[in-house]
């Protein structure tokens, strides 16, 4: 059950993180890195080391950040490739997404019935058709 909770959370926020950016006007790369760091911070604050190990997470938060940022390709994120099709990157929504992820409670993260789209709605608006 825990693995499914973590995987679901990563999938919801991970889609946004592929094109997220950190402050107003921040690059997609900076945003992606910030969101992945915030995800790891929340996981390591909300799950026990045993729970994280059972879900195949690294032993510490810094290793989680490095792994997640590499997996999401944050280093290669640009405004040209952050969004697909006719969607455009919205740095204001990226900043809001990062803040919303950072503000998620452990209850929201641990609750398998929690609607993470509702908890961090800006993440779904980072890449949008204008």
Rounded-to-integer distance, Cα 18 and Cα 126, Å: 9
Task: Tell me if 63 sits within 8 A of 69, measured CB to CB.
Answer: no
The reported pLDDT for the residue numbered 122 is: 93
Tens digits of per-residue pLDDT, 71-125?
A: 999 999 999 999 999 999 999 999 999 999 999 999 999 887 777 678 899 999 9
Answer whether 0.85 is exceeded by the pTM.
Answer: no
Task: Tell me if 74 sits within 8 A of 29, measured CB to CB.
Answer: yes
Based on the number of CB atoms within 10 Å of its own CB, is 55 exposed (0-12), middle (13-18) or buried (19 or more)?
middle
């Amino acid at each position: 059950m825990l693995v499914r909770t973590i995987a679901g959370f990563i999938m919801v926020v991970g889609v946004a993180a592929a094109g997220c950016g950190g402050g107003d006007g921040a690059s997609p790369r900076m945003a992606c890195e910030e969101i992945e760091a915030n995800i790891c911070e929340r996981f390591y604050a909300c799950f026990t080391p045993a729970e994280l190990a059972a879900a195949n997470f690294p032993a510490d938060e810094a290793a989680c950040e490095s792994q997640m940022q590499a997996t999401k390709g944050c280093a290669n994120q640009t405004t040209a490739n952050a969004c697909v099709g006719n969607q455009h990157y919205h740095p204001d929504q990226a900043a809001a997404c990062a803040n919303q992820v950072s503000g998620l409670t452990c209850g929201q993260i641990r609750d398998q019935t929690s609607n993470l789209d509702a908890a961090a709605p800006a993440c779904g608006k980072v890449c949008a058709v204008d």
